[in-house]
Amino acid sequence: MATKKTSVRKTTQPKATAKKTPAPKKATPKLKPKPVVKQSKSSTVNKKQIIKKTVPVKKVVSKAVLGNKKTAAVNPVKIEVLDPNIYPIGKFVLPEKITDKEIKKYIDELHHLPKQLKKATKKIKHKEQLHASYREGGWGIDQIIHHLADSHTNAFIRFKLALTENNPTIKPYKQNLWAETPDIQLPIKTSIKLLKVIHQKMIALVKNMDANDLKRTYVNPETNITFVLQEALAMYAWHGKHHLGQIEVAIKKSKEEKSSKEDENDGDDD
């Protein structure tokens, strides 16, 4: 019986090759691992929470004014430098809220103004001082006093209009020209007396006004500003003290100028 020949597959062994030795790697400096920053809870705060934590604008401004360096660097605030001769008591600032206490204070200030003017002008020793001014080119003492009487007479009329009409448009006047009309040649005591009477009438009005009356308004067509009566009251109370301060500055300056001239004359005699 014939037997099948089994074929044997020849396997060839791969030729041995010389192993290549890799070039030595340059040593690399070990880098410090970066610290893992954990996500804070605040990063998941929703928008409403973020809005609540926002600092109000008013607080930021007030801190900058008080000298907070961080706030001032971000939101620099320009501080206006006022001339103390022109604004001896500062500019008018309207309170955020006018309370009954504030109304009473304004009434008291209007009541005392004529007396304060009378007291201040007693320091005037000669008529030339009446033309003395708080600044170069400014109104004289006599013009300021006559202006106060004119201004507050107009204020009284504006109050009456606002109380009897619905948001009336008032009649402006040229205050600089009014300060040059012939009536300013009258003695200053004439305008002080007029101011006293006008203030008596204005105070009588205000004392009998309720909360709704104090919120009545009038419009100035020159500036297109609507004035609320309680705010106008605050403004006119400041206005009186403002000009009283200017009068006191003018009297002081006139005395200093007179004393300086006398010293110069004494020096010439030597």
Tens digits of residue pLDDT in 105-139: 999 999 999 999 999 999 998 889 999 999 999 99
Confidence of residue 78 (pLDDT cuts 50, 70, 90): confident
Average pLDDT over the chain, rounded to an integer: 81
Cα distances from 219 to residues 43, 158, 180, 213, 245, in angstroms, run 51, 9, 26, 16, 29
The separation between the first and the last C-alpha atoms of the chain, rounded to the nearest angstrom, is 168
* Domains in the chain: ranges and CATH: 47-74 (no CATH), 100-256 (1.20.120.450)
Nearest to 132 by CA among 121, 118, 119, 116: 121
pLDDT at 8 (0 to 100): 44
Count how many residues are written for the chain. Answer: 270
CA-CA-CA-CA torsion sign (86, 118, 233, 184): negative
Summarised one tens digit per residue, pLDDT across range 217-235 is 999 999 999 999 999 999 9
Nearest residue to 64 via CA among 77, 54, 81, 55: 77
Tokens read off for 270 = 């030597």
Does 7 have pLDDT greater than 70? no
pLDDT at 206 over 90: yes
Cα distance between residue 141 and residue 134, in whole Å:
8
At 80, the pLDDT band (50, 70, 90 cuts) reads: confident
